[in-house]
C-alpha cells in the first residue's frame, strides 16, 4: 500500500521548485550584469579620449579641449610607490610573524586588529593621515597621501603574506632545518622564495586597490593641476582627477574622466586575473 500526497500538492511543490530555482538563476544574471555594463560603458566612453596625449600631456587650462593627465599618472605612481615603501616592510614582516610565530593569543590579536584595520572606511584613514601628517606640516602634501595609502595597504599585505607562507608545505621547512640551516634563513631563503609568486601578486592587488582610492587623497594630497613630483607639495592623482572632471560641465573633461576610469579598471582587472591565475595554478583548488 502506498500513501500518496494529493495531486495538486505535488504540482504545487514542483512549481515552487522550478520557480525558486529560476529566481536564483535570474539573480545570478542580475548580479553579473553590472560588471559588464560598467566595463562596457567605461570602455565605450573612455576609448575615444584614450590616446597618447592622455598619457604624456598636461591638463589644458579650464575650458580648453585636449590635453592629458600625465601629472596625475605620475602623482598616482609616486603616492602608491611611497605607500609601498612604508607599507611593504611593515606588512610583509608582520605577515611573517603571524605565519611563523603567530599561533598564540598575541598573534590572534594582531590578526584580528589587522582585519579591523582593513575594514576601516578609507575616508577615515584620510582623516587620520590629515591629523598625523597634514596638521603638523600645516599644508597638503604627496607625503600625506602616501601615508594614507600605506595604512590602507598594510592589512592586505599582512594577510596575503601570512596566507601564502602558510601554503608552503611543512616538509620544505623541515628539510631545510635538517640541513642545519637556521630557522630565520629557512624563512627568508627557502620559504619566502617559494611563496614569492603568491605574495607578489597579492602585493600587486594591494597596490592596484591603493591606486584606485580617492577618498583618502581628497584632503591629504589634495590635487594639483600642475606638474609636481615633490613629496612636500600637493600632488595630482588619477582618481581625484576623475572626481573633479566628472563634476565639471565640460564634455571633453567628462570624456577624460572616463578614459582615466578605463585605465583604472583595466589595471584592476589584469591584476585580479593574475592573482587568480597564480593562486590557482600553484596551489590547486585551495584558494577561495
Q: Which of residues 64-103 bind other proteins (CB under 8 A)?
A: 89-91, 93-94, 96-98, 100-102
Of 52-60, 64-72, 76-84, 253-261, the segment contacting other proteins by CB under 8 A is 253-261
In the region spanning residues 136 to 195, those forming contacts with other proteins, defined by CB under 8 A, are 140, 151, 154-155, 158, 169, 171-187, 189-190, 193-194
Q: What is the three-class DSSP state of 286?
A: coil
67: helix, coil or strand? strand
Q: Residues 6 or more apart from 128 whose CB is under 8 A from it?
A: 148, 151
**Minimal distance, residue 127 CB to other proteins, in Å:** 4
Closest approach of other proteins to the CB of residue 213, in Å: 7
Helix or strand holding residue 6 (H, E): none
Q: Which is nearer to other proteins, 70 or 267 (CB)?
A: 267
Total Cβ atoms within 10 A of residue 147:
26
Q: Which of 69, 73, 84, 222 binds other proteins (CB under 8 A)?
A: 222
Q: Per rule CB under 8 A, is residue 206 in the interface with other proteins? A: no
Determine which residue in the list 208, 235, 236, 278 makes contact with other proteins, applying CB under 8 A: 208
In sequence order, the 6+-apart residues with CB closer than 8 A to the CB of 146 are 78, 79, 81, 82, 83, 85, 86, 231
Burial of 13 (0-12, 13-18, 19+ CB in 10 A): exposed
User: Smallest distance, Å, CB 54 to other proteins?
Assistant: 16
* Residue 270 touches other proteins, criterion: CB under 8 A: no
Beta-ladder partners of 52: none
Report the site for other proteins in 24-43 (rule: CB under 8 A). Answer: 24-28, 30-32, 34-35, 37-38, 41-42
Instruction: Answer for the pair 49, 259: CB distance below 8 angstroms, yes or no.
Output: yes
Amino acid at each position: 500500500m502506498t500513501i500518496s500526497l494529493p495531486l495538486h500538492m505535488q504540482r504545487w511543490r514542483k512549481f515552487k521548485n522550478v520557480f525558486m530555482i529560476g529566481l536564483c538563476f535570474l539573480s545570478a544574471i542580475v548580479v553579473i550584469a553590472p560588471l559588464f555594463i560598467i566595463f562596457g560603458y567605461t570602455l565605450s566612453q573612455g576609448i575615444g579620449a584614450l590616446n597618447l596625449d592622455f598619457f604624456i600631456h598636461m591638463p589644458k587650462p579650464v575650458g580648453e579641449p585636449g590635453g592629458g593627465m600625465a601629472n596625475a599618472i605620475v602623482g598616482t605612481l609616486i603616492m602608491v610607490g611611497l605607500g609601498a615603501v612604508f607599507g611593504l616592510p611593515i606588512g610583509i614582516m608582520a605577515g611573517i610573524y603571524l605565519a611563523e610565530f603567530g599561533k598564540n593569543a598575541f598573534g590572534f590579536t594582531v590578526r584580528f586588529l589587522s582585519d579591523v584595520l582593513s575594514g576601516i572606511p578609507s575616508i577615515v584613514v584620510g582623516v587620520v593621515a590629515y591629523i598625523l601628517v597634514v596638521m603638523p606640516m600645516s599644508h597638503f602634501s604627496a607625503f600625506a597621501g602616501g601615508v594614507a595609502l600605506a595604512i590602507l595597504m598594510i592589512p592586505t599585505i599582512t594577510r596575503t603574506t601570512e596566507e601564502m607562507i602558510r601554503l608552503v608545505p611543512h616538509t620544505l621547512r623541515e628539510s631545510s632545518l635538517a640541513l642545519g640551516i637556521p630557522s630565520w634563513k629557512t624563512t627568508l631563503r627557502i620559504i619566502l622564495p617559494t611563496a614569492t609568486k603568491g605574495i607578489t601578486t597579492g602585493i600587486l592587488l594591494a597596490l592596484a586597490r591603493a591606486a584606485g582610492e580617492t577618498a583618502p587623497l581628497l584632503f591629504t594630497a589634495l590635487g594639483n593641476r600642475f606638474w609636481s613630483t615633490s613629496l612636500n607639495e600637493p600632488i595630482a592623482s588619477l582618481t581625484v582627477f576623475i572626481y573633479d572632471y566628472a563634476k565639471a560641465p565640460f564634455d571633453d573633461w567628462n570624456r577624460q574622466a572616463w578614459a582615466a576610469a578605463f585605465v583604472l579598471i583595466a589595471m584592476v582587472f589584469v591584476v585580479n586575473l593574475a592573482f587568480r591565475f597564480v593562486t590557482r595554478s600553484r596551489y590547486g583548488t585551495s584558494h577561495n
